[in-house]
């Protein structure tokens, strides 16, 4: 009765071997590496970047151990930190500002382990040091900005349509257009409705004649979603400037953004850069060939600046001379979308706000036949995206930039222009800086406490329950192996509370084994034969184990749903640990016990410690 | 080796009055401490800035305190963090100043006196986050209780469910009372620990309840009264209760000793929680069960297979 069918043994063996393999990468440590990724959306990292990087490093007399390209970044692995630092300098010099060259640590997982998807656990900031920000998007400001824009749009449209209006007033959450009489209200209503199809437009007639424009719930929702999305994009672009190897930028809840920058210590600099704007500038082009020649020769005429213009999808750079005077900035852009122009060329469609529209209208009217440069300013460096010739006056605030752009580039440019500014200001509501030495300490302390606790439990179990105790300890070890393997394979971020959860889960997991062992002793005490005692002990204990684990799991899942930060890190590991412990305590330990005792014909006693029987039989 | 050589069932239920009295007194005391002293909430809940510093040699707390107070940031706290070299400085939220500025200023001042100071950690929490954490924490506790009541009501019966949850809350309140009494910092990790105790302690009650159910169904126990049945169940699980809790406690103590300051609060909450967990599951949940008037019929009726036990 205490024999498992072969498939069960195979299952246990496979589970344990797999657990061992997936736990293994955690022991190989990490080696220094340099990671190259794109600093701007318009610059792509590809195989040619890899070739250039390797050449640059080789020229510096360094030999990378390993070169990896994962589609978005190139990683070069080195033997020691010295070589890593030298390589970083060499790469930075060779590749220039278009690329982010960051120091990183790469796991030294052997390739045969990598090929089965095994990887080491991902450590949280509290274990490896870095900066954590929680930013809150100021939704009120986002709504304010949107209302301001709506008010401007209405003004412009009414002026365009030659409708006389009193004033366009922005209220707390609405825009009011004051009109002379009821007739004007009737005349204005379709115009405003057409202009703002997604908003609620209510006419008011009688004592005061006006039109009230409000944002319906759906529009507000979309507004705030867009604001968060845009801010995340902007943050992504800016974090790239910091040269962080593996930044995390995520939305949390409705209006919050988490930014985690491992390895960064200088919070002041990080915050400065996160708060900066990359933007678009519109300037006039100096098309005098003599001036351009002089500028290329190193003699830039006063009031102008030499820049490069990108032409074609191959990114060929052409020098161009632009005026220093900035006519219009990206602050006046409400939106930028990729699209197509009338010749079916890829284009970026800008939507300027009312001031921007007026400026652009005047600018285009005064400069017909001349070129206007659209300059993208990033990292304090300008680059001319396109410099079209103005054919006619451009009004209405809708500007189309179409040059020799590909569809992908148009998308990137639109995204960048959108990303240039934040949709709404953000406040830092939480900030955490953890020094690398504290991180190492935390790992060591967490590891130590788990180790000593585990050792204490194992020693006690072996002394108290003998062979059964040893089996319990081994299956507890199996539990640890399964849990660590699961955490590594799923890629859950391990934090200090997570380590605490591993320790606690192990402490609680032994409960199942104690239940089983006590039950077997009791059966023996009641005069059962050893084989029957094992069988009954396991089956009786099972109901209890299930009940107690399910209740613990309920608590764990509730923590997972409602916890944040530290609590969630704890809860994930705790829940997984409960699941693995049920498997290891019941299936694995039974398997081993069956191997030891199940195949003996005449079993007279079990090594489960002394079974004390009271004087009077069957108490 | 066998620790527990119990010849007869221990009449736990006859101690009912005594244990109820003890529970009530500790409970009332805990609530009193919570009301009078209140919890010493960590920075996650109150908002503010916390800096962790490490000195090469032993730090002079009084000197640091005077220096920090000199900056006039309002109510600043300076305390040792486990060792003599580690110091924690806690500052309230100050308008118009970011935490980076704040921590830089403090560090500059401290460095002027003792250049061997190293900034190990800065944590800044805005005021709005704290309230949210409290609501989320309370929601989590409520949800855990409801979930457990539902599960136990299905698996056992409502009387079991309610007794288990009351016993549980009793533990939680006592942990909170201890934290209030000693003014230990109550932070997010401690909250995680308290919630873990909630799950753990119920686990304990479940094991005893399981035995009670089994005893009700067992023909051997047919002639026994309800208190006798419960006594037998507790006695039978006694050995397992002590050993399991001992093991878990060993793990938690190991965290308390070796885990350093970051795990201290968590381990402390669990240490207290586990100790009271033993007591409450045996001596609070079971008397409650009796008080709610649990009978054999409550447990045996739904089981059709063992019908001969009913007759």
Helix/strand/coil for A609: coil
Question: A32-80, pLDDT tens digit by residue?
Answer: 888 887 766 567 788 888 888 888 888 888 888 888 888 778 888 888 8
Give the largest CA-CA distance in chain B: 86
Q: Which residues of chain B does A430 touch, with a Cβ-Cβ cutoff of 8 Å?
A: 124-126, 129
Question: A162-186, pLDDT tens digit by residue?
Answer: 888 887 887 778 888 888 888 888 8
Mean of the per-residue pLDDT values of chain A:
82
ipTM of the complex: 0.84
Token couple for B302: 């739904």
- The CA-to-CA distance between both ends of chain A, in Å, stands at 27
Average pLDDT over residues A517-532: 90
Sheet containing strand A168-170, edge to edge, reads A168-170, A174-179, A209-214, A200-204
Q: How far is the C-alpha of A583 from the C-alpha of A593, rounded, in Å?
A: 15
Nearest residue in B to A125, CA atom: B121
Q: Cβ separation of B120 and A543 shorter than 8 Å? A: no
Q: Which of A438, A507, A508 sits opposite B120 (nearest CB)?
A: A438
Question: A279-306, pLDDT tens digit by residue?
Answer: 677 888 888 888 888 888 888 887 788 8
Q: Name the region of A441 (left: φ>0; alpha: ψ -120 to 50; beta: rest).
A: alpha
Q: How far is the C-alpha of A510 from the C-alpha of A581, rounded, in Å?
A: 8
- In percent, how much of chain A has pLDDT > 70? 89
Alpha helices in A182-301 (DSSP H): 182-195, 217-242, 267-274, 289-296
Helix/strand/coil for A387: coil
More confident residue, A612 or B267: B267
May I ask the CATH class of domain A130-276? alpha beta
Give the model's pLDDT for residue A423. 67
DSSP strand pairing (A122-123 vs A99-107): unpaired
Q: Cβ separation of A445 and B259 shorter than 8 Å? A: yes
The answer to whether A2 touches A598, Cβ cutoff 8 Å, is yes
Task: Check whether A313 has a pLDDT greater than 60.
Answer: no
- Residue span(s) of chain B under CATH 1.20.1640.10 come to 12-39+129-297
Nearest Cα to Cα of residue A584 among A454, A470, A475, A469: A475
Phi, psi of A61, deg, nearest 5: 80, 20
Q: Cβ separation of A496 and B118 shorter than 8 Å? A: no
Q: How far is the C-alpha of A326 from the C-alpha of A98, rounded, in Å?
A: 24
Residue spans per domain, chain A = 6-23+435-597, 30-107, 130-276, 278-421
Nearest residue in B to A548, CA atom: B203
**Architecture in CATH of A30-107:** 2-Layer Sandwich (3.30)
DSSP strand pairing (A372-378 vs A426-434): unpaired
Give the model's pLDDT for residue A20. 93
pLDDT confidence bin for B309, thresholds 50/70/90: very low
Instruction: Provide the 10 A C-beta neighbour count for residue B85.
Output: 17
| Extended strands (E) in A447-606 | 493-494
Question: A542-566, pLDDT tens digit by residue?
Answer: 988 988 888 888 888 888 887 777 7
Q: How far is the C-alpha of B27 from the C-alpha of B93, rounded, in Å?
A: 35
More confident residue, A71 or B120: B120
Task: Check whether A154 has a pLDDT greater than 70.
Answer: yes
- Residue span(s) of chain B under CATH 3.30.70.3400 come to 48-125
Q: Which residues of chain B does A570 touch, with a Cβ-Cβ cutoff of 8 Å?
A: 189, 192, 196
Alpha-carbon distances, residue B166 vs A137, A342, A539, B113 (angstroms): 42, 73, 30, 54
Question: B124-181, pLDDT tens digit by residue?
Answer: 887 777 777 778 878 888 888 888 888 888 888 888 899 888 888 888 999 999 999 9
DSSP-assigned letters across all residues of chain B: --S----S---GGGGHHHHHHHHHHHHHHHHHHHHHT--EE-HHHH-EEEEEEEESS---HHHHHHHHHHT--SS-EEEEESEEEEEEEEE---TT--HHHHHHHHHHHHHHH-TTEEEEEEEEE-HHHHHHHHHHHHHHHHHHHHHHHHHHHHHS-HHHHHHHHHHHHHHHHHHHHHHHHHT-EE-HHHHHHHHHHHHHHHHHHHHHHHHHHHHHH-GGGTTS-HHHHHHHHHHHHHHHHHHHHHHHHHHHHHHHHHSHHHHHHHHHHHHHHHHHHHHHIIIIIHHHHHHTT--HHHHHTT--TTGGGT-
Mean of the per-residue pLDDT values of chain B:
83
**Spatial CB neighbours of A513, under 8 Å, sequence gap ≥ 6:** A461, A472, A475, A476, A585, A589
Among the ranges given (A199-213, A413-427, B168-182, B262-276), the one the predictor scored with the smallest mean pLDDT: A413-427
Instruction: Provide the 10 A C-beta neighbour count for residue A521.
Output: 23
Q: Which of A429, A515, A540 sits opposite B240 (nearest CB)?
A: A515
- The CA-to-CA distance between both ends of chain B, in Å, stands at 40
CA angle A604, A610, A615 (to 5 degrees): 95
Q: Which helix (H) or strand (E) holds A282?
A: strand A279-284
Phi, psi of A513, deg, nearest 5: -65, -40
Instruction: Provide the 10 A C-beta neighbour count for residue A486.
Output: 19
Instruction: Provide the 10 A C-beta neighbour count for residue A465.
Output: 26
Q: Cβ separation of A543 and B210 shorter than 8 Å? A: yes
Minimal CA separation from B206 to chain A, in Å: 6
Minimal CA separation from A99 to chain B, in Å: 28
Q: Cβ separation of B2 and A610 shorter than 8 Å? A: yes
Give the model's pLDDT for residue A123. 87
Residue B3's Cβ-side half-sphere holds a number of Cα atoms within 13 Å equal to 15
Question: B10-67, pLDDT tens digit by residue?
Answer: 888 788 788 888 888 999 999 999 999 998 888 888 888 888 888 888 888 888 888 8
CATH number 3.30.70.3400 given to B48-125: yes
DSSP-assigned letters across all residues of A287-300: --HHHHHHHHTT-P
Give the model's pLDDT for residue A266. 66
Minimal CA separation from A558 to chain B, in Å: 6
Only one residue has tokens 């929601």, namely B139
Question: B67-78, pLDDT tens digit by residue?
Answer: 888 887 777 888
Average pLDDT over residues A135-141: 81
pLDDT confidence bin for A502, thresholds 50/70/90: very high
Q: Cβ separation of A510 and B247 shorter than 8 Å? A: yes
Give the model's pLDDT for residue B306. 45
CATH number 3.90.850.10 given to A278-421: no
Alpha helices in A491-528 (DSSP H): 496-525
pLDDT confidence bin for B311, thresholds 50/70/90: very low
Q: Which residues of chain B does A565 touch, with a Cβ-Cβ cutoff of 8 Å?
A: 44, 188
Average pLDDT over residues A198-216: 85
* Interhelix angle B99-113/A267-274, nearest 10 degrees: 160
Nearest residue in A to B2, CA atom: A610
More confident residue, B256 or B5: B256
**Spatial CB neighbours of A484, under 8 Å, sequence gap ≥ 6:** A19, A23, A26, A121, A502
Report which listed range, A92-101, A447-456, B79-88, is most confident. A447-456
Task: Check whether A512 has a pLDDT greater than 60.
Answer: yes
Q: How far is the C-alpha of B243 from the C-alpha of A518, rounded, in Å?
A: 10
Q: Which fold has domain B12-39+129-297?
A: Multidrug efflux transporter AcrB transmembrane fold (1.20.1640)
Alpha-carbon distances, residue B91 vs A551, B43, B61 (angstroms): 40, 9, 15
* Interhelix angle A496-525/B188-217, nearest 10 degrees: 20
Token couple for B117: 């100071």
Q: Which residues of chain A does B270 touch, with a Cβ-Cβ cutoff of 8 Å?
A: 504
CA angle A118, A81, A63 (to 5 degrees): 80
Best A256, A453, A454, A536 member to test B by mutation, with max B CBs in 10 Å, is: A453
Minimal CA separation from A118 to chain B, in Å: 29
Question: A372-422, pLDDT tens digit by residue?
Answer: 888 876 545 677 877 878 878 887 888 887 766 677 767 666 666 665 566
Q: How far is the C-alpha of A583 from the C-alpha of A594, rounded, in Å?
A: 16
Give the model's pLDDT for residue B22. 87
Minimal CA separation from B245 to chain A, in Å: 8
pLDDT confidence bin for B9, thresholds 50/70/90: confident
Phi, psi of A215, deg, nearest 5: -90, 120
Q: Cβ separation of B260 and A442 shorter than 8 Å? A: yes
Phi, psi of A119, deg, nearest 5: -145, 155
Question: A464-480, pLDDT tens digit by residue?
Answer: 999 999 999 999 999 99
Q: Which of A441, A549, A559 sits opposite B192 (nearest CB)?
A: A559
Best A131, A261, A551 member to test B by mutation, with max B CBs in 10 Å, is: A551
Sheet containing strand A316-323, edge to edge, reads A316-323, A304-311, A381-386, A372-378, A279-284, A328-329
Nearest Cα to Cα of residue A446 among A489, A495, A381: A495
Q: How far is the C-alpha of A504 from the C-alpha of B248, rounded, in Å?
A: 7
Give the model's pLDDT for residue B303. 46
For domain A6-23+435-597, give the CATH number: 1.20.1640.10
Task: Check whether B291 has a pLDDT greater than 80.
Answer: yes
Q: How far is the C-alpha of A267 from the C-alpha of A133, rounded, in Å?
A: 10
The answer to whether A528 touches A2, Cβ cutoff 8 Å, is no
Q: Cβ separation of B129 and A430 shorter than 8 Å? A: yes
Alpha helices in A32-177 (DSSP H): 47-59, 81-95, 111-114, 125-128, 139-160
pLDDT confidence bin for A461, thresholds 50/70/90: very high
Q: Cβ separation of A445 and B243 shorter than 8 Å? A: no
As separate numbers, helices (DSSP H) first and strands (DSSP E) second, chain A gives 17, 23
Q: Which of A267, A508, A574 sits opposite B100 (nearest CB)?
A: A267
Alpha-carbon distances, residue A563 vs A508, B123, B191 (angstroms): 21, 19, 10
Nearest Cα to Cα of residue B167 among B12, B26, B269, B18: B26
Give the model's pLDDT for residue B99. 65
Token couple for A194: 């057409």
Minimal CA separation from A362 to chain B, in Å: 41
Q: How far is the C-alpha of B255 from the C-alpha of B265, rounded, in Å?
A: 10
Best A455, A517, A544, A612 member to test B by mutation, with max B CBs in 10 Å, is: A544
Q: Cβ separation of A563 and B136 shorter than 8 Å? A: yes
Q: Which of B139, B155, B249 sits opposite A547 (nearest CB)?
A: B155
* A6-23+435-597 and A278-421: identical CATH topology: no
Phi, psi of B7, deg, nearest 5: -80, -45
Q: Which residues of chain A does B255 touch, with a Cβ-Cβ cutoff of 8 Å?
A: 449, 453, 500, 503-504
pLDDT confidence bin for B308, thresholds 50/70/90: very low
More confident residue, A501 or A99: A501
Beta bridge partners of B91: B49
Q: Cβ separation of A555 and B259 shorter than 8 Å? A: no
Report which listed range, A205-214, A427-436, B26-35, is most confident. B26-35
Beta bridge partners of A182: none
The answer to whether A307 touches A382, Cβ cutoff 8 Å, is yes
Task: Check whether A485 has a pLDDT greater than 90.
Answer: yes
Q: Cβ separation of B251 and A453 shorter than 8 Å? A: yes
Token couple for A178: 């004051």
């Amino acid at each position: 009765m205490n024999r498992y069918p072969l498939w069960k043994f195979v299952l246990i063996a496979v589970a344990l071997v797999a657990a061992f393999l997936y736990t293994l990468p955690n022991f190989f440590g990490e080696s220094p590496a340099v990671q190259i990724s794109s600093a701007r959306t318009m610059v792509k990292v590809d195989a040619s970047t890899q070739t250039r990087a390797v050449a640059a490093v080789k020229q510096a007399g360094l030999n990378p151990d390993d070169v990896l390209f994962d589609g978005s970044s190139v990683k070069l692995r080195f033997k020691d930190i010295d070589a890593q630092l030298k390589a970083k300098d060499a790469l930075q010099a060779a590749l220039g500002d278009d690329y982010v060259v960051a120091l990183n640590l790469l796991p030294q997982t052997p390739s045969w382990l990598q090929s089965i998807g095994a990887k080491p656990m991902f450590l949280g900031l509290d274990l490896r040091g870095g900066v954590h920000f929680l930013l809150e998007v100021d939704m009120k400001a986002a709504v304010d900005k949107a209302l301001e824009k709506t008010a401007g749009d209405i003004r412009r449209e009414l002026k365009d349509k030659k409708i006389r209006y009193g004033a366009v007033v922005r209220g707390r959450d609405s825009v009011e257009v004051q009109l002379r009489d009821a007739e004007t209200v009737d005349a204005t209503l379709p115009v405003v409705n057409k202009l703002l199809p997604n908003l609620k437009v209510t006419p008011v007639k009688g004592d005061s004649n006006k039109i009230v424009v409000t944002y319906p719930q759906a529009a507000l929702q979309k507004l705030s979603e867009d604001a968060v999305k845009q801010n995340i994009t902007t943050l992504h672009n800016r974090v790239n400037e910091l040269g962080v190897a593996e930044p995390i930028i995520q939305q949390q809840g409705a209006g919050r953004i988490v930014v985690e920058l491992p390895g960064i210590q200088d919070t002041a600099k990080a915050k400065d850069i996160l708060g900066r704007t990359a933007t678009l500038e519109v300037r006039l082009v100096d098309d005098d060939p003599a001036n351009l020649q002089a500028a290329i020769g190193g003699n830039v005429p006063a009031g102008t600046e030499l820049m490069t213009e990108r032409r074609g999808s191959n990114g060929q750079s052409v020098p161009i001379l632009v005026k220093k005077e900035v006519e219009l900035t990206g602050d006046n852009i409400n939106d930028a979308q990729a699209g197509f122009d009338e010749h079916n060329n890829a284009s970026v469609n800008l939507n300027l706000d009312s001031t921007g529209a007026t400026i652009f209208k005047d600018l285009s009217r005064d400069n017909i036949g001349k070129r206007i440069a659209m300059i993208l300013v990033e990292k304090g460096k300008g680059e001319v995206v396109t410099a079209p010739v103005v054919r006619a006056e451009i009004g209405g605030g809708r500007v189309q930039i179409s040059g020799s752009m590909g569809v992908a580039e148009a998308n990137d440019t639109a995204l960048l222009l959108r990303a240039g500014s934040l949709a709404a200001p953000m406040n830092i509501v939480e900030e955490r800086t953890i020094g690398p030495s504290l991180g190492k300490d935390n790992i060591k302390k967490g590891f130590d406490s788990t180790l000593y606790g585990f050792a204490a439990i194992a020693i006690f179990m072996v002394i108290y329950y003998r062979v059964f105790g040893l089996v319990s300890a081994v299956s507890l070890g199996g539990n640890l192996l399964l849990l660590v393997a699961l955490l590594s394979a799923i890629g859950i971020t391990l934090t200090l509370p997570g380590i605490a959860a591993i320790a606690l889960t192990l402490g609680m997991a032994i409960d199942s084994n104690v239940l089983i062992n006590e039950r077997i002793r009791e059966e023996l005490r009641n005069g059962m034969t050893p084989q029957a005692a094992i069988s009954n002990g396991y089956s009786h204990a099972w109901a209890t184990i299930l009940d107690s684990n399910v209740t613990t799991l309920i608590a764990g899942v509730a923590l997972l749903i409602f916890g944040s930060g530290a609590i969630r890190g704890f809860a994930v590991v705790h829940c997984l640990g409960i699941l693995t412990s049920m498997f290891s305590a019941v299936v694995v330990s039974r398997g081993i016990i069956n191997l030891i005792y199940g195949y003996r014909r005449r079993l007279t006693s079990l090594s489960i410690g002394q079974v004390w029987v009271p004087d009077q039989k069957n108490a | 080796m066998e620790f527990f050589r119990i010849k007869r069932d221990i009449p736990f239920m006859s101690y009912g009055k005594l244990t109820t009295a003890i529970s009530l007194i500790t409970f009332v005391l805990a609530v009193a401490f919570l009301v009078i002293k209140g919890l010493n909430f960590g920075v996650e809940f109150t908002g503010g800035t916390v800096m962790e510093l490490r000195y090469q040699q032993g730090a002079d707390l009084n000197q640091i305190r005077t220096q920090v107070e000199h900056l006039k940031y309002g109510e600043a706290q300076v305390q040792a963090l486990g060792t003599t070299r580690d110091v924690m400085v806690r500052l309230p939220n100050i308008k118009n100043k970011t935490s980076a500025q704040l921590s830089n200023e403090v560090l500059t001042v401290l460095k002027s006196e003792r250049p061997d100071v190293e900034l190990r950690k800065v944590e800044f929490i805005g005021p709005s986050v704290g309230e949210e954490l409290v609501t989320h924490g309370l929601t989590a506790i409520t949800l855990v209780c409801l979930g457990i009541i539902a599960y136990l009501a299905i698996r056992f019966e409502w009387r079991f469910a309610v007794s288990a949850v009351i016993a549980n809350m009793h533990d939680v309140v006592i942990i909170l009372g201890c934290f209030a009494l000693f003014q230990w910092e109550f932070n997010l990790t401690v909250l995680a620990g308290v919630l873990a105790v909630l799950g753990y302690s119920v686990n304990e009650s479940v094991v005893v309840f399981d035995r009670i159910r089994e005893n009700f169904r067992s023909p051997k126990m047919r002639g026994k009264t309800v208190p006798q049945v419960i006594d037998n169940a507790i006695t039978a699980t006694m050995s397992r209760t002590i050993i399991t809790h001992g093991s878990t406690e060993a793990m938690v103590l190991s965290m308390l000793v070796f885990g350093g300051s970051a795990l201290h609060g968590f381990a402390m909450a669990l240490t207290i929680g586990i100790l009271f967990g033993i007591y409450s599951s045996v001596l609070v949940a079971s008397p409650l069960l009796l008080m709610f008037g649990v009978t054999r019929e409550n447990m045996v009726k739904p089981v059709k297979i063992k019908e001969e036990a009913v007759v």
